[in-house]
A and B are shown apart, each in its own frame.
Chain A
Amino acid sequence: MALKRKSKQFKWHRKHLLGLRELSAEEITYILDTAEGFEQISTRSVKKAPPLRGKVVVNLFFEDSTRTRNSFALAANRLSADIIEFTKKTSSVSKGESLLDTARNLEALGIDIVVVRHNAGGAPKFLSRNINACVVNAGDGFCEHPTQGLLDTYTIRKIKGSLEGLKIAIVGDIAHSRVARSDMWAMTKLGAEVIFVGPPTLMPPQVRQLPVKVSYSLDEVIEKVDVINMLRIQFERLGGNPFPSIREYSHYFGLTVERMKRAKSDILVMHPGPINRGLEIESEVADGRNSVILEQVTNGLAVRMAVMFLVNQAAAQQK
């Protein structure tokens, strides 16, 4: 396999991917470079490579997910791993088994990589301290979603060449968004300027202490940015009534055809999916020529292959 390496002397040493906050710019770049090498596997007629042959990956999902789970499953398949699906509904979690007991039981079955999604921030870190397998965070509460942050960054880098100096708006429910946090860490570390856009009721506490700019007006921001990432309004996470109505939210923060007329002609429109058409983004924009929403999905596969490949390699070297 021809892996294209920009940073040759660099050595990856982490057996877990828990979040992007703790990664250096060099580490993030290394993952993206590794993902580039994996991208072409999906274009071959035989879409499979052997690096994880004989390894077992468990998809440990305590929250609903379709695309992330399938993306990880397919990525594991492409690397020739065996994969176990574990979801909250089919497990004994509903019988009161703790996360730790569940993980220890899975480990007793001899797994190598745990891909975990959980509603509690820090759950992957907690697991990594208590089991021997590699842990890959597939989203924890509203803390981080590192592979999403990586695939967003990958997508931008692939099209724009570099993140250095780019202005990137992330719009919507920042307070409850792990994607916003992971994007922020990755993109700012690679030299972009990130602007969080949304109503004050959807900003997290002490947002001004984060390495971002904050704006309550999409209209003020739309002309300036090179990339706009529209977060999904997560109705299941919204507490109370952070905006008066969907109509009013869309009026101020929806990415409409009208607003797009004022944007740069080469602006990248992103969305982590699944999209609420007509709410945070109008259909014509989501499907329009600036949209890279489906490229994000494709790139996610390469990024997740790279992540599983790297953590497994680090674990093997530590043995």
Chain B
Amino acid sequence: MSSELLIKNGRVIDPANNIDEKCDVLIIDEKIAEVGKVEKPVQTVIDAAGKLVAPGLIDIHVHFREPGDEEEETIASGSAAAVAAGFTSVVCMPNTNPVIQNETDVEYIHRKGRQTRKTHVYTMGAITKGLQGVELAEMGFMAEAGAVGFTDDGRGVQDASVMLRALKYAGMFDVVVAQHCQAENFTGNGVMNSGYYSTILGLPGIDPLAEEMILWRDIQLIKKAEVRYHAQHISTAGSVELIRAAKKDSLPITCEVTPHHLLLTEQCCAEYDTNYKVNPPLRAEKDVEALKQAIAEGLIDALATDHAPHLQSEKELEFLTAPFGIASLECALGLYVKALIEPGVLDWPGLIRLMAERPAKIIGVDKGTLGKGKQADVTIIDPNAEYEIDVNTFRSKSRNCPYHGWKVKGKVETTIVGGEIRFESESRY
């Protein structure tokens, strides 16, 4: 017997099909069967009046720390956090211990994800073995095993000839090569943005140019290859200009922006709170404005959290020694609403486009839309529900979240993954 699920009377937003109207979504088994007025009686009905019904959200940049650092996060805990935040797909970064660098590693991530039965768990593989930036990892085998892209995230590929080789080689497969743009020999031991605040706080700085010079270099390199390139977590006004020029030249480049680079600035580090220590670092106000402007212009392709969980005991160190990273997966939607919808940078369809449709395109999966026959990944959102972020309620194992106590709007009500309800908020009852 087939299972049927009807979502009634919601505001259905499906940017891929230019839909933004009050109607119903019928799911039969794992697929979207119909979007429109559905009158037939079905087993399960969700009343979505006053709610938004969107294609399942996709976060293409998370660190779930498994294998290796399961005390910080596991695929199970991260996935539970993801569905609670409305994400029906996530992409894990390969900088685990061991590094995800062969097909067995990729299969391990997939198996753990399937067993958890929460969100779809994808992974990128390493570009180079051990993230050392020297020898290429087995990109072909990993792509065949289902890796949706490659990156040495956590660091960038430093050597231009190695990067060119990676870009050319990856061109054989339909995958994206993603880069954490940062010149290490220019970054030194920096721990925050280089500028007035690093000077008065006596902390070594990371100059925006460290990001921009690698991004500039890669933009030149992709002209010599035939592959899709994705700049991860860009953070500076200068990077926006480089992306603008590259897109004008119709180069196959995409980029993402994190919530923290839209909401926080280097000034947040003034009290040495290590929850604000993140890489790339929090930048200046003008950088935040440039990123928002780029989003308004459509230059940014995806919003991604770079969810980077760490233990409290690791973050309870001196600013100089504590690890980089902000855990924000579980409150991401409310943060994007605050950063982008409330100031009028985006409307809801615009936000859904950057959280579902476009991310799916970047990683090359047939998702991010409510088109008929597509896999039924759906997120139902109450756009007006206001709540206070409380790290103690997180399903994620880590608490390194600087947004604790923030009041945000936009709450996930129901998350449906492959036609199955995987998360329902308590407020629905």
**A interface residues (Cβ-Cβ under 8 A, vs B):** 21, 98-100, 118-123, 125-126, 130, 140-144, 178, 181, 204-207, 209-210, 239
Task: Flag if B200 contacts A21 (CB, 8 Å).
Answer: yes
Q: Type the 1/0 row for B200-215, where 1 means its CB is closer than 8 Å to any CB of A.
A: 1111010100000000
**Chain B: CB-nearest residue to A204:** B199
Bits for B254-289, please: 1 = Cβ < 8 Å to A, else 0.
Answer: 000000000000000001100000000000000000
CB A72 to nearest CB in B, in angstroms, measures 20
Once bound together, how far apart are the Cα atoms of A119 and B317, in whole Å?
A: 13
Q: A126-B318, A126-B319 are in contact. List 13 more A-B contacts (CB 8 A).
A: A120-B319, A121-B201, A121-B320, A122-B319, A143-B201, A181-B202, A204-B198, A204-B199, A205-B198, A206-B196, A206-B199, A210-B196, A210-B200
Interchain nearest-CB distance for B321 vs A (Å): 6
What is the CA–CA distance of A140 and B200 in the complex, to the nearest angstrom? 12
What residue of chain B has the Cβ atom nearest to residue A141's Cβ? B202
Q: Is B188 an interface residue (CB 8 A)?
A: yes
CB contacts (< 8 Å) of B194 on chain A: these are: 205
Bound CA–CA A204/B203 (angstroms)? 10
**B318:A123 contact, CB within 8 angstroms:** yes
Tell me the bound Cα distance from A126 to B271 in angstroms: 9
Measured CB to CB, the closest approach of chain B to A99, in angstroms, equals 6
Beta-carbon contact of B316 and A98 below 8 Å: yes
Give B237 Cβ to nearest chain A Cβ, in Å: 16
Of residues 308 to 334 in B, which have CB atoms within 8 Å of A's CB atoms? 313, 316-321
A124 to chain B minimum Cβ distance, whole angstroms, is 10
Known A-B contacts A122-B272, A205-B205; the reply to A181 vs B200 at CB < 8 A is yes
Which of A125, A126, A130, A210 has the largest count of B CB atoms less than 10 A from its CB?
A126
Docked CA distance A122–B273 (Å): 9
Query: What's the minimum C-beta distance from B274 to chain A, rounded to whole angstroms?
Result: 8
Leading 3 A-B pairs by shortest Cβ distance: A143-B202, A121-B202, A122-B272
CB distance from A61 to the nearest CB of B (A): 15
Q: Considering the chains assembled together, what is the distance between the CA atoms of A210 and B317 in angstroms?
A: 28
Give Cα A205–Cα B204 distance, bound, in whole angstroms: 10
Q: Are the C-beta atoms of B202 and A205 separated by less than 8 Å?
A: no
Chain A residues, Cβ within 8 Å of B195: 205-206
One of A122, A126, A206, A207 near B202 (C-beta < 8 A): A122
CB-contact partner of B317 in A98, A121, A206, A239, under 8 A: A98
User: Which residues of A are found within 8 Å of B205, using beta-carbon distances?
Assistant: 205
Q: How many angstroms from the CA of A207 to the CA of B202 in the assembled complex?
A: 12
B321/A120 in contact, CB under 8 A: yes
Chain A residues with CB below 8 A from B321, complex form? 120
- What residues of A have a CB within 8 angstroms of the CB of B202 in the complex? 121-122, 140-144, 178, 181
Q: Give the Cβ gap from B400 to chain A, nearest Cβ, in Å.
A: 15
Binding site for A on B (CB under 8 A): 188, 194-196, 198-203, 205, 207, 271-272, 313, 316-321
Find chain A residues with CB under 8 A from B199 CB. Answer: 204-207, 209-210
Contact flag A239-B319 (CB < 8 Å), given A205-B196, A207-B199: no
| Residues B188 and A121 in contact, CB atoms below 8 Å apart | no
Q: How far apart are the CA atoms of A146 and B271 in the complex, in Å?
A: 17
The reply to whether B313 and A122 form a contact with Cβ atoms under 8 Å apart is no
B271 contacts across to A, CB distance below 8 A: 125
Q: Which residue of A lies closest to B185 (CB)?
A: A240
Cα distance, A239 to B186, chains bound together (Å)? 12
Give min CB distance, A147 to chain B, whole Å: 16
Q: Are B320 and A119 in contact (CB under 8 A)?
A: yes
28 contacts between A and B (CB under 8 A): A21-B200, A99-B318, A100-B317, A118-B318, A120-B319, A120-B320, A121-B272, A121-B320, A122-B203, A122-B272, A125-B271, A125-B272, A126-B319, A130-B316, A141-B202, A142-B202, A143-B200, A143-B202, A178-B202, A181-B200, A204-B199, A205-B195, A205-B196, A205-B207, A206-B195, A207-B199, A210-B199, A239-B188
Is A121's CB under 8 angstroms from B196's CB?
no
> What's the nearest-Cβ distance from chain B to residue A43, in Å?
36
Contact A122 B318 (CB under 8 A): yes
In the complex, chain B residues whose CB is within 8 Å of the CB of A120: 318-321
- Residues of A near B198 (CB, < 8 A) are 204-205
How long is the Cα–Cα vector from A210 to B313 in the complex, in angstroms?
A: 35
Docked complex Cα distance between A126 and B315 (Å): 11
Assembled-state Cα–Cα distance A142/B313 (Å): 25
Q: Which residues of A contact B207 (CB under 8 A)?
A: 205
> Please, how many angstroms separate the alpha-carbon atoms of A126 and B202 in the complex?
14
Specify which chain B residues have a CB less than 8 angstroms from the CB of A239 in the assembled complex.
188
Given A141-B203, A205-B205: A98 and B196 interface contact (C-beta under 8 Å)? no
The answer to whether A100 touches B316 (Cβ under 8 A) is: yes
A299 to B321, CA, bound (A): 34
Which residue in chain A gives the minimum CB-CB distance to B284?
Answer: A206
Instruction: Specify which chain B residues have a CB less than 8 angstroms from the CB of A130 in the assembled complex.
Output: 316
Q: How far is the CA of A181 from the CA of B405 in the complex (A)?
A: 34
A125 partner residues in chain B, CB cutoff 8 A: 271-272
- Tell me which of B202, B207, B317 has the highest count of chain A C-beta atoms within 10 A of its own C-beta: B202
Complex CA distance for A207 and B205, rounded to whole angstroms: 13
CA distance A143 to B319 in the complex (A): 12
Residue in chain B with minimal CB distance to A127: B318
Which residue on chain B has the smallest CB distance to residue A145? B202
Residues of A contacting B188 in the complex (Cβ-Cβ under 8 angstroms) = 239
Chain B residues with Cβ below 8 Å from A178 are 202
Q: Which chain A residues border B196 with CB–CB below 8 Å?
A: 205-206, 209-210
Determine the distance from Cα of A29 to Cα of B316 in the docked complex, in whole angstroms: 35
